[in-house]
Chain A
Amino acid sequence: MPQVSMTVNGKSATGEVEGRTLLSTFLRENLNLTGTHIGCDTSQCGACTVHVDGKQVKSCTMLALEAEGAEIATIEGQAAEDGTLNAIQQAFQDHHGLQCGFCTPGMVMAAASLLKENPKPSEAEVRHHLEGNLCRCTGYHNIVKAIMAASGQDVSAIAAE
């Protein structure tokens, strides 16, 4: 079987995969990084969102072998070594940006990618950016609020619906 090598959350990772092995499968089954969730497996829900060379992609819609040599960031690499949550994760907790939590890894990775490009997004820009991330329980309001708060903006005027 072919070998694939990449850097995942700053550590080098190598494994044997099939041609058809998805990046999400490699992360979850070879590396045991099960924080990357498989929600729909049809490329629609975004729960499997990771960063490949700094860009958000759906890891269930990319072959592991396509990531040869790439820098991958997953949800496991977002908090500090001692477990301290990063600003986005903390804001999701503070603003009740999750209920069941299944979509949350993808939401956090999508939010990180948005705030890197656009540090102070408007509410409409946040909503537009989340078009590829589905949540079936929060109704999005608190997710949007958490991301706005993580960007350092005052969210007291945004209603918690």
Chain B
Amino acid sequence: MYEFEFVRPGSVAEAIKALGEDEAQPLSGGQTLIPTLKQRLAMPSKLVSLTGIAEMQGITASGDGVSVGGATCHADVAADGTIPALSALAGGIGDPAVRNRGTIGGSLANNDPAACYPAAALGLGATIKTNKREIAADDYFVGLFETALDEGEIVTAVTFPKPEAANYQKFEQPASRFALVGVFVAKTGGGVRVAVTGASEGGVFRWSAAEEALAKDFSASALDGMAPDADGMMSDLHGTAAYRAHLVGVLTRRAVAAC
């Protein structure tokens, strides 16, 4: 790692001030950032830790949903259970040690194209709260490792509305435990949402053809023979674009059946 200064503020306001300086970068659970720094792929002059900020910790359930502080670790979300599909997803990220450090805000800010949380946020139609605004999940995910967040803007909380039914199916890349493909299906008052991670070159996306079919008939058989276009799907040594497109269909049918 290159050298950097480390600060651990106790409030969002102090963190934002510290992030205002050149080349400062936020550090949440660090389960992606620290390995990145070790490989010298990033060179921040200062790291601003977000793990000492009490107002960004914890989970608050209300009648119609759940709000998760940005610096809440995956293990805490896994243990919560207000939205079972969300907790199951959090409990399947990485391994136990990673789940004790990695945070929801860090995952959503990083927007890895194979991360699990983006699928939950987009699938449930979450609202991402930052230090300056609220962003609907539909407007938040911009592309590969790219979000609507501005420089120095941090995710302070994420609010998930409670669905009528939901399920997440993940086909694990067995070495990394990231999703080779992951599909989050949610049946909500506003319709059916199908969010796919791990597959597209553009990051997490909604599979609208499946949503339309499921709105008419919410059953796995409504998607018989369907798969998204393989154009624009990721292709690497773990799977071709056609393989991933096929998996999206399979996992979506499994998720619907498990709802």
Asked if B75 CB lies within 8 Å of chain A CBs, one says yes
| Residue positions of A touching B, CB distance < 8 A | 2, 18-20, 22, 41-44, 46, 49, 52, 55-58, 61-63, 65-66, 68, 110, 113-114, 129, 131-133
| Residue positions of B touching A, CB distance < 8 A | 1-6, 8, 27, 30-31, 34-35, 37-38, 47, 49, 51, 75, 94-98, 100-101, 175, 177
B1 closest partner in A (C-beta): A20
B102 closest partner in A (C-beta): A61
Which chain B residues lie closer than 8 Å to A68 at the CB level? 8
> Given A63-B6, A113-B96, 6 more contacts at CB 8 Å?
A41-B38, A52-B100, A55-B100, A57-B100, A63-B34, A131-B96
Which chain A residues lie closer than 8 Å to B6 at the CB level? 2, 19-20, 63, 65
B75 closest partner in A (C-beta): A55
A62 CB, min distance to chain B CBs, angstroms: 6
B34 closest partner in A (C-beta): A61
Is the pair B96, A43 in contact by a Cβ cutoff of 8 Å?
Answer: no
Is the pair A20, B30 in contact by a Cβ cutoff of 8 Å?
Answer: no
**CB-CB nearest 3 A-B residue pairs:** A132-B95, A19-B6, A20-B1
A20–B46 Cα gap in the complex (Å)? 10
Is the pair A18, B3 in contact by a Cβ cutoff of 8 Å?
Answer: yes
Interface of A is mostly: mixed
B73 closest partner in A (C-beta): A55
Is the pair B38, A19 in contact by a Cβ cutoff of 8 Å?
Answer: no
Is the pair A20, B31 in contact by a Cβ cutoff of 8 Å?
Answer: no
B28 CB, min distance to chain A CBs, angstroms: 11
Is the pair A61, B31 in contact by a Cβ cutoff of 8 Å?
Answer: yes
Is the pair B97, A49 in contact by a Cβ cutoff of 8 Å?
Answer: yes
A133–B97 Cα gap in the complex (Å)? 9
A10–B37 Cα gap in the complex (Å)? 31
A51 closest partner in B (C-beta): B100
A87–B98 Cα gap in the complex (Å)? 26
